[in-house]
Copies of this chain bind each other. A is one copy, B any other.
Amino acid sequence: MYKEKIEKWGLFEWSGEGYSEGNSFRDYDIKAVIKSSDEEKCVRGFYDGDGIYKVRFMPSFEGKYEFRIEGSFSDKVSTGSFEVTAPAGNNRGPVGVCDTYHFKYADGTPYYSIGTTCYVWELQSDELIEKTFKSLEDAGFNKIRFCVFPKHYDFNLREPRSYPYVGTPVDSSGITSENFQDYTGRTDGNDWDLYRFNPEHFRHIERCIARLADMGIEADIIVFHPYDRWGFSMMSGDQDIFYIDYLIRRFSAFRNVWWSMANEYDLFERKNLADWETIGSYFMKNDPYGHLRSIHNCKEFYDHSRSWITHCSIQRQDVYRTAENTDEWRDKYKKPVVLDEISYEGDIQHGWGNISAEEMVRRFWETAMRGGYPGHGETYYDKDDILWWSHGGELHGESWKRFKFLLRILKETRGHGLKSDNSDWKNWDSVMAVPEDDAKFKETGYRIFYYSFMRPSFRIFDMEDNIKYRAEVIDTWNMTVTDAGVHSGRFRIDLPGRQYMAVRLVAQN
């Protein structure tokens, strides 16, 4: 059973019946060889419950493909073919690293990551999930970071819509905001078969991933996280591999999948660096499509120079200075820098969750102008404990309204991305963003000067005498771009003496 026509970078799925005696998740295998004139891949399938086995594949070329499926799940061999057509809509293929510090879609379009975090949005009610989709669309986010496992934490005390395993969870009736920490990192009271998945948990997540793909949103999947009362953060190495292998078999054919090995890897009681190396390397070796891979810290940075890590996924280490360190981290790791947690806009009691919208937007611009990629989050106190940061739903803040504008500015960048250029001491007090491969654009000049919380009422520029620059004043908060004339050599640009302003100079041909 399969569709005979799919898009390039779309999802080919075959399903068929097989043996269901014993534990089909563990006892039987299924794999496929799929080939066209341009590629040939061997992919492994998975058991989806109810006697049904599936194989998924993401083709990277147009044209005719043939497949051959076999394995211990059945004594039959299945063969067939399908046609791969041109991509359409938001389908630009999976995102990969480009020019060391940046990203692009497989079709070559630059990808400027403007992400958000909603840890378990997809494990909420259908109604809330629908609200989240709407909010994602309104804000224009193009990446969302979330967990496969449910979350246990302050404001996260309810049961999720489903569990990834068959069994019964610990009784949560006595857990409150006051005592939830006593339950963190416990396994007792739970009764799971950690070799028997609950397929509906994964099917539901897949429906969410697919819908995100349709919307042009990357799904940054957090494989493990420590905010846990069910023991999923405390599994054995064998159980971990059993789980991540299932994830790879099920999810990797979705073009918009990114793998985040962990949220806050350094808070796990029962995992050490060797465990994380095993997990990260397993993804690198077994994901047939080489989706982006990262690991996220609480306090201590992981060594992002490890070969299985494709990009840095960073949580701030300093209460005050984070976005401003983007240059340093680029230099250190020579990989794209994604600041997946730079604090949350909100007003909750926790110090990581109550910065202003202005400060959030400022951190976005600081990061983006330095050639990094910022991540949003929101934690406004809510009487029903529905906080965007974990549950999605509606956005209550002010920062999210300003990201489409930043994305527009980034899309107008020349080349594949920006970097900051500190070579001119006169700009010590601002971020001068230039194209990553500036040498290529030297003749055609492109500069954004970002002034952050500083409030100059004018600035003097010393540019080339022989290049005419179109000057624009950008108000990053009010989202306006105002023409400020064409200039050469030394000239003055007036500014309103407010925070969060920038000046863009673009050479005129």
Interface residues of A (CB under 8 A from B): 318-321, 324, 346-352, 354-356, 359, 381, 428-430, 452-460, 497, 499
Contact B319 A354 (CB under 8 A): no
User: A429: which B residues are within 8 A, CB to CB?
Assistant: 319, 350-352
Q: How distant is the Cα of A355 from the Cα of B429 in the complex, in angstroms?
A: 11
Q: How distant is the Cα of A341 from the Cα of B174 in the complex, in angstroms?
A: 54
User: A352: which B residues are within 8 A, CB to CB?
Assistant: 429
Q: How distant is the Cα of A180 from the Cα of B456 in the complex, in angstroms?
A: 20
| Most chain B beta-carbon contacts within 10 A, residue among A349, A359, A459 | A349
Identify the closest chain B residue to A457 (Cβ).
B347
Contact A359 B453 (CB under 8 A): yes
Q: How distant is the Cα of A264 from the Cα of B388 in the complex, in angstroms?
A: 48
The residue that A453 contacts in the complex, of B347, B356, B430, B458, with Cβ under 8 A, is B356
A495 to chain B, nearest CB (A): 8
Q: Take A347-B497, A460-B349 as given contacts and tell me if A455 and B320 are in contact as well, using a CB distance cutoff of 8 Å.
A: no
User: A350: which B residues are within 8 A, CB to CB?
Assistant: 429, 456
Q: How distant is the Cα of A263 from the Cα of B352 in the complex, in angstroms?
A: 38
Contact A454 B321 (CB under 8 A): no
Q: How distant is the Cα of A454 from the Cα of B346 in the complex, in angstroms?
A: 9
Contact A320 B321 (CB under 8 A): yes
Q: Take A349-B456, A381-B457 as given contacts and tell me if A320 and B320 are in contact as well, using a CB distance cutoff of 8 Å.
A: yes
29 residue pairs A–B, Cβ–Cβ below 8 Å: A319-B324, A319-B428, A319-B452, A320-B320, A320-B321, A320-B324, A321-B324, A346-B455, A347-B497, A348-B456, A348-B457, A349-B456, A349-B457, A349-B460, A350-B456, A351-B429, A351-B430, A351-B454, A351-B456, A352-B429, A354-B456, A354-B457, A354-B497, A355-B454, A355-B455, A356-B453, A356-B455, A356-B499, A381-B457
Q: How distant is the Cα of A151 from the Cα of B130 in the complex, in angstroms?
A: 65
Please name the 6 residue pairs, one residue from A and one from B, whose CB atoms are nearest each other, closest first. A351-B429, A347-B497, A354-B455, A347-B457, A321-B321, A349-B456
A151 to chain B, nearest CB (A): 21
Q: Take A349-B459, A349-B460, A497-B347 as given contacts and tell me if A354 and B454 are in contact as well, using a CB distance cutoff of 8 Å.
A: yes
User: A359: which B residues are within 8 A, CB to CB?
Assistant: 453
A453 to chain B, nearest CB (A): 6
Q: How distant is the Cα of A11 from the Cα of B18 in the complex, in angstroms?
A: 103
The residue that A347 contacts in the complex, of B320, B356, B456, with Cβ under 8 A, is B456
User: A381: which B residues are within 8 A, CB to CB?
Assistant: 457, 497
Q: How distant is the Cα of A28 from the Cα of B349 in the complex, in angstroms?
A: 70
Q: How distant is the Cα of A429 from the Cα of B353 in the complex, in angstroms?
A: 10
| Most chain B beta-carbon contacts within 10 A, residue among A320, A356, A381, A452 | A320
A220 to chain B, nearest CB (A): 25
Q: How distant is the Cα of A453 from the Cα of B360 in the complex, in angstroms?
A: 11
The residue that A355 contacts in the complex, of B319, B321, B453, B459, with Cβ under 8 A, is B453
Q: How distant is the Cα of A241 from the Cα of B321 in the complex, in angstroms?
A: 43
A358 to chain B, nearest CB (A): 9
A37 to chain B, nearest CB (A): 55
User: A454: which B residues are within 8 A, CB to CB?
Assistant: 351, 354-355
Known: A347-B497, A351-B429, A355-B453. 14 other contacts (CB 8 A): A319-B324, A319-B428, A319-B429, A320-B452, A347-B455, A347-B456, A349-B458, A354-B455, A354-B457, A355-B454, A355-B455, A356-B499, A359-B453, A381-B497
Q: How distant is the Cα of A89 from the Cα of B429 in the complex, in angstroms?
A: 44
Identify the closest chain B residue to A359 (Cβ).
B453
Identify the closest chain B residue to A343 (Cβ).
B454
User: A452: which B residues are within 8 A, CB to CB?
Assistant: 319-320
